Amino acid sequence: MERSRRVLEMKGITKQYFGNTVLNDVSIALCPGEIHALVGENGAGKSTLMNILFGMPVIHTTGGFSGEILIDGEKVDLSSPAAAMQAGIGMVHQEFMLLPGFTITENIKLNRETTRQNALSRLFHSQSLDYLDVPTMRKDARRALDRLDLSIDEWLPVAGLPVGYMQFIEIAREVDKKEVKILVFDEPTAVLTETEADRLLGSLRRLAADGIAILFITHRLDEVMAVADRITVLRDGETVARLNRDEAVVERLAELMVGRKVEKIDLPPRHKDPGEEDLALTIDNLVVNMPGEMVRGLSMTIRRGEILGIGGLAGHGKLGIANGIMGLYSSSGRVSKNGDDIPLNSPEQVLLKGLAFVSEDRRGVGLLLDEPIERNICVTAMQAQNKFLRSWPHFLPGLRLENRGEIRAYSDEMIRKLDIRCLGTTQPVRSLSGGNQQKVCVAKALALDPEILFVSEPTRGIDVGAKRLVLDLLVRLNREHNVTIIMTSSELGELRKICDRVAIVYRGRLAGILPPDASDAEFGLMMAGGVRKEAV
């Protein structure tokens, strides 16, 4: 590693999305042959920084960014992915950019095919009519695979290959680019098993030894410690630390990554604290097939009357739990309430068992956006429990009509109780603010009179004041109506604020359950897969 020369410098990068600052004066510098780790929680701004570096359109359609990028000491304008590639930046994407129907060679050479002229292409002066030069393409692909020490045949189709290979093919594609000076790895080990991950780290070292500068984004701290030369920690869009590897310790990194002051609010007391002897729900080996949020065999118990938080990084399955139990995604395993098995894969049956769900997808699953507030509040209860309906005429018992009076009265009561700011029960929910929409979602779940309420990402996309109101509402429901609440959230802070216990999910399984006042380092480590531990 040549410390003197800088192959990449990003200076004072600031980026706002719709007035929201997601990156604030972030700077980062890479030397040739260096492995530089960029760590941070979801939402810390890592992806935005990479999108800027790679010239993604999403940056430029949202007003661009301020700050400058220098490559080999020269200022560059990376206004498109093509420009970034030209400048020598390679990106190994988090989701695979591989076409399953193409061979490994075709994928490695995708849109960089070597071609050969023929009569027609000469006639029309059109490169797009050139033949593909398959032998040369295969030779190049072979060379790139060899560089990664991968013995797989280059003519195999990608479909059906184990996931581990795919990551390497993606890397081979970048390695094949002659001009690559900087390689960005965006959480490359997220989908790999441990041996695969080790192998990948080996390749990383080898590439660095060839003089390529590597920017390695991850939240697996043990990997950072294993390969990184230098480490930058981002939190909430700001650089909180720049360390050399010899200065870093895993615990310190975890603390830097998660650490933020938790404002403690005084929660109202209970008559009786929930305990292990009185269980509301038992989850045994739950597997949920929710794309991007797979749950892979999770077991835990939920105490009656508690507020249980479920946290973890995006993609590790925390959202899958509620969606799976409620029957919105196919699932298997055993879930029982009061010793009574809950049928999976049947949303209707689950609702009848006294479970209710406030979905993280408020505008998609949660609400009928163009319907009035009152219908939104009552529709699930009407469907699942035949509430708010009346038989009419009486000689046709199968025919039920909605009971307008009852719906109106109940909705008015809910609007008053939950303090939904609106023009009246007939206002379409689309025109409500995010926080008030969320309250309608909660009201809808309450119309079912649930014993157990799942709430996913209740504060996503609503402003600070409204967040507080929603959290207060959940606490009130729990204390006054004795509803057991299972709250899933990406914001660890709010989980620690109102929950009795916080379960952390890692790679689709329970990593452990911590008390809300556990230290930042403990939470950080558990979320990053540091230690497995059964606490509380």
Question: Any contact of residue 249 with another protein (CB under 8 A)?
Answer: no
Q: Give 233's strand partners.
A: 39, 241
Q: For residue 203, give both structure tokens.
A: 């390749």
Q: Which of 9, 113, 236, 251 binds another protein (CB under 8 A)?
A: 113
- Smallest gap from residue 47 Cβ to another protein (A): 15
Scan for tokens 């298997």, then name that residue.
332
- Smallest gap from residue 107 Cβ to another protein (A): 9
- Smallest gap from residue 308 Cβ to another protein (A): 24
Question: Any contact of residue 106 with another protein (CB under 8 A)?
Answer: yes
Strands (E), 93-181: 115-116, 131-132
Q: For residue 43, give both structure tokens.
A: 């939402």
Q: For residue 342, give both structure tokens.
A: 């809950």
- Rank residues 87 and 485 by Cβ distance to another protein and give the closer one: 87
- Rank residues 331 and 359 by Cβ distance to another protein and give the closer one: 331
The amino acid present at 442, given as its one-letter code, is V
With contacts defined by CB under 8 A, how many residues of the chain interact with another protein?
A: 47
Per the CB < 8 A criterion, the answer to whether 133 and 114 are in contact is yes
Helices assigned H by DSSP within 125-214: 134-147, 163-176, 194-209
Question: Any contact of residue 507 with another protein (CB under 8 A)?
Answer: yes
Scan for tokens 């926080």, then name that residue.
435
- Of 161-169, 211-219, 335-343, 521-529, the window that binds another protein (rule: CB under 8 A) is 161-169
Q: Which of 9, 25, 68, 130 binds another protein (CB under 8 A)?
A: 130
Helices assigned H by DSSP within 330-482: 347-352, 373-385, 404-418, 434-446, 464-481
Q: Which of 1, 29, 70, 156 binds another protein (CB under 8 A)?
A: 156
- Rank residues 11 and 93 by Cβ distance to another protein and give the closer one: 93
Q: What's the rounded Cα separation, in Å, for the pair 108 and 264?
A: 52
Per the CB < 8 A criterion, the answer to whether 420 and 367 are in contact is no
Q: Which of 1, 29, 70, 97 binds another protein (CB under 8 A)?
A: 97
- Rank residues 193 and 426 by Cβ distance to another protein and give the closer one: 193
- Rank residues 156 and 240 by Cβ distance to another protein and give the closer one: 156
Assign residue 33 a region (left: φ > 0; alpha: ψ between -120 and 50; beta: otherwise).
left
Q: What's the rounded Cα separation, in Å, for the pair 484 and 417?
A: 19
Question: Any contact of residue 333 with another protein (CB under 8 A)?
Answer: no
109: nearest Cα among 88, 132, 83: 132
Question: Any contact of residue 129 with another protein (CB under 8 A)?
Answer: yes
- Smallest gap from residue 138 Cβ to another protein (A): 14
Q: What's the rounded Cα separation, in Å, for the pair 431 and 429?
A: 5
Residues 192-231, mask of contacts with another protein (x by CB under 8 A): xx-xx--x--------------------------------
Question: Any contact of residue 101 with another protein (CB under 8 A)?
Answer: yes
Q: Which of 74, 127, 339, 464 binds another protein (CB under 8 A)?
A: 127
- Smallest gap from residue 498 Cβ to another protein (A): 32
Residues 289-308, mask of contacts with another protein (x by CB under 8 A): x-x--x-x------------
- Of 64-72, 152-160, 410-418, 517-525, the window that binds another protein (rule: CB under 8 A) is 152-160
- Rank residues 109 and 467 by Cβ distance to another protein and give the closer one: 109
Q: Which of 132, 225, 250, 279 binds another protein (CB under 8 A)?
A: 132
Q: For residue 469, give both structure tokens.
A: 């109101």
Scan for tokens 């949920």, then name that residue.
288
Scan for tokens 């929603």, then name that residue.
470
Per the CB < 8 A criterion, the answer to whether 500 and 516 are in contact is yes
Q: Residue 200: enclosing H or E segment and its boundaries?
A: helix 194-209
Residues 162-181, interacting with another protein (CB under 8 A): 162-165
Q: Which of 24, 42, 115, 482 binds another protein (CB under 8 A)?
A: 115
Alpha carbon of residue 393 to chain centroid: 51
- Rank residues 193 and 433 by Cβ distance to another protein and give the closer one: 193
Q: Which of 93, 387, 408, 479 binds another protein (CB under 8 A)?
A: 93
- Smallest gap from residue 432 Cβ to another protein (A): 30
Q: For residue 23, give both structure tokens.
A: 């990156």
445: nearest Cα among 502, 367, 390, 503: 367
Phi and psi (nearest 5°) for 221?
-70, -30
Q: For residue 320, give both structure tokens.
A: 């899958």
Binding site for another protein (CB under 8 A): 81-82, 85, 93, 97-102, 106, 110-111, 113, 115, 120-121, 127-132, 150-153, 156, 160-165, 191-193, 195-196, 199, 287, 289, 291, 294, 296, 507-508
